[in-house]
Structure 1
Amino acid sequence: MQVVTDFSHVRLRDRPLVVCDIDEVVLEFLSPFTDFLRSHNYDLLPRSFRLHGNIVSLLDGSEMDRDSFSSFQDEFFASQNLWQKPAERAIETLHALAEDADIVFLTAMPPRHQAIRRALLDEVGLDFAMIASEEAKGPIVAKLHARRALPVAFIDDIQRNLLSVAENVPECFLISMMANADFRQFAPPPVGAIVSASGWDQAGLLLKKHFAGG
């Protein structure tokens, strides 16, 4: 049974909105996930822009199957507070942006893990509203923004999520950003109105310009 995403706890003010993905955007994911896998005798190889098929056994070189991958990813999310840390310049930039805009985190993660992620974000000083959902991101951003006559922006590392938001919120400013440089080189080039940012410093400048109507 599909769980309907609840964001009744999100309170927006009369100012711009920035919706951010978390894994590989606000928090590092691929580097700590690699460390987690290595602790279980597996490795994540930067051979293409995907996870499944790039995880191999350190014992015999065999690829991890899909069922095992799902189990390992779920176990990682359950212990994410032991592995993940903020992406470079994420904390400073987000707090600077919060002076002029509302920040909402939208993470593609099973909602059952949201409590531990909430605690991790609070621990590092990122106490902005968070939504954990496995639904398409475009409709969620559309409901959040609700066609307000205010700037709205969305940051994600996965192109299908950016395109989902583009389809549902055509006026949204779209930024593609990824913390891990090894896998970033395999990311598909930005399409349409998507703008690529090399990191939080550049993303912050792009967003400030967007808020100012540039």
Structure 2
Amino acid sequence: MRASSDAHRSRTHQACRPPLIVCDVDDVVLQFATPFEAFLLERGYSLLPRSFKLTGNIVDAAETALNDVAVNALIHDFFIEQDRWQTPFAEAVDSLHALAEEADLVFLTAMPPRHAEVRRRLLDRLTLSYPMISSEEPKGPIVAALHGKRALPLAFVDDMVGNLRSVGEHVPDCALVYLPPDVAIFRFAPDPEPHVLRAQDWAEARGLIETHFRN
């Protein structure tokens, strides 16, 4: 009788817990590429997309490409001032609020943790006061740890194919939503794997996630 009672309590506990959404931030919730280009121009540099990376594509006035050290320094300076430059994509805030009514929502942002405080303030200012993890580690193990063994739907949203692959390898049942921004450099991005769900905007991403939760 006790075993049956414990099983019932476990099922009831699971039923009371909502699904989980883990969502990237840069170029998914907050615009990155477009404001970063404006940031570069203010400092006398340009972004000339010729491949899917920043190093080799950021150039000075003579169109000489900056090296890794210089590019990383610029990214660091941008993140220090991110709250001055970054704004949300259309429908991102409303879509996330709507999704959070039926699911737990966690931001998983691939940036140095030393910049997390500024990002936290920016997200809070935008009324996106959901939990946030800042890490440069692979996302698959992080999402797997967040999901644990819960027998509930899980969705992961990102603009980087490598991150989607990492999460898919560690949490095979996760709905992987690819949400790339409409910017020039993403013309050089690799294609996601066939099972990944591709969304053109947040309205479509929201629909894909809600369908996954219903099914």
TM-score strictly above 0.5: yes
Matched AA of 1:20: C
Shift of 1:179: 2.2
- Structure 1 position 79 matched with structure 2 position 81: yes
CA contact (8 A) 1:28 1:180 kept: no
- Structure 1 position 54 matched with structure 2 position 57: yes
Q: 2:205 aligns with which of 195, 203, 206?
A: 203
List per-residue Cα deviations over 1:41-61 (Å, max 9, x = no partner): 10112322221111111x211
Structure 1 CA distance for aligned equivalents of residues 176 and 100 of structure 2? 18
List per-residue Cα deviations over 1:116-153 (Å, max 9, x = no partner): 00000000111111000011100000000002110001
Aligned residues: 200
CA contact (8 A) 1:31 1:180 kept: no
SS of 1:185 mapped into structure 2: helix
Shift of 1:184: 3.0
Which structure has the larger Rg? 2
Structure 1 CA distance for aligned equivalents of residues 86 and 132 of structure 2? 17
Q: Show the counterpart of 1:184.
A: 186
Q: TM-score, normalised by structure 2?
A: 0.90
Structure 1 CA distance for aligned equivalents of residues 183 and 73 of structure 2? 26
Q: Show the counterpart of 1:24.
A: 27
Q: Which runs of 4+ in 1 moved over 3 A?
A: none
Q: Show the counterpart of 1:166.
A: 168
Q: 2:155 aligns with which of 143, 146, 153?
A: 153
Q: Show the counterpart of 1:175.
A: 177
CA contact (8 A) 2:34 2:183 kept: no
CA contact (8 A) 1:142 1:169 kept: yes
Structure 2's unaligned 5+ residue stretches are: 1-15
Matched AA of 2:40: L
Structure 2 CA distance for aligned equivalents of residues 93 and 69 of structure 1? 33
Shift of 1:189: 1.5
Q: Show the counterpart of 1:33.
A: 36
Q: TM-score, normalised by structure 1?
A: 0.91
Q: Show the counterpart of 2:104.
A: 102
Q: Show the counterpart of 1:92.
A: 94
CA RMSD, Structure 1 to Structure 2 (Å) = 1.1
Structure 1's unaligned 5+ residue stretches are: 1-12
Shift of 1:181: 3.0
List per-residue Cα deviations over 1:187-206 (Å, max 9, x = no partner): 21221421111110100000
Q: Show the counterpart of 1:122.
A: 124
Q: 1:142 aligns with which of 141, 144, 147?
A: 144
List per-residue Cα deviations over 1:87-136 (Å, max 9, x = no partner): 11100100111111111000010001100000000001111110000111
Structure 2 CA distance for aligned equivalents of residues 126 and 179 of structure 1? 20
